[in-house]
C-alpha cells in the first residue's frame, strides 16, 4: 500500500501512525511522507502498483487537495481500479463532513474517513474487511496469508 499526505500538508505523525496501523494489519507500506506533489503521488502509484492508496491530511485542506489528486489518479488507466481512500481533517469549516464525504466518493475515492466519529476504528474495519488473500505476508497473529 502507499501512504501519502497531500501537497499542502507537512504533518508526518499521522503518516507514521497509518504506516504502523496498516503494517499491523499485515500489509507492506511505502510511505511517501509529507507535502507530496500530485505528480509524484501519481508516478509512485504507477511504479509500485499498490493494492491501495491511503491519503491522510491533518491541515484541513484534504478536501480541496483530495478532489484535485483523485482526478489525476483516476485519469490514469492503470490506476482506475486501484482503491484510493482519504481521511483526516478534510476541511476547516466545521461539521460539513457529509457533503464532503459524498463529493469525495463521487469524485472517485473508495472510502472517506473524516475526523469526528472514530476514523481509526472505521479505517481498521475497512482494512480487515478486505479479502485476506491480498495480504502480502503473515498477519500479526501468525496466520499465514
Section 95-105 average pLDDT: 80
Q: pLDDT, tens digit, for every residue of 19-50?
A: 999 998 889 999 999 999 999 999 999 999 99
The pTM of this model reads: 0.86
Maximum CA extent, the chain = 45
pLDDT at residue 94, rounded to an integer? 67
Amino acid at each position: 500500500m502507499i501512504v501519502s499526505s497531500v501537497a499542502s500538508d507537512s504533518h508526518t505523525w499521522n503518516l507514521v501512525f497509518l504506516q504502523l496501523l496498516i503494517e499491523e494489519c499485515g500489509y507492506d507500506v511505502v510511505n511517501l511522507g509529507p507535502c507530496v506533489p500530485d505528480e509524484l503521488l501519481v508516478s509512485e502509484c504507477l511504479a509500485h502498483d499498490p493494492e491501495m492508496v491511503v491519503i491522510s491530511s491533518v491541515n484541513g485542506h484534504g478536501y480541496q487537495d483530495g478532489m484535485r489528486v483523485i482526478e489525476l489518479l483516476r485519469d490514469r488507466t492503470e490506476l482506475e481500479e486501484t482503491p484510493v481512500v482519504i481521511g483526516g481533517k478534510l476541511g476547516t469549516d466545521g461539521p460539513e463532513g457529509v457533503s464532503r464525504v459524498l463529493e469525495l466518493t463521487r469524485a472517485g475515492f473508495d472510502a472517506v474517513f473524516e475526523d469526528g466519529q472514530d476514523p481509526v476504528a472505521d479505517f481498521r474495519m475497512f482494512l480487515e474487511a478486505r479479502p485476506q488473500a491480498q495480504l502480502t505476508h503473515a498477519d500479526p497473529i501468525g496466520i499465514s496469508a
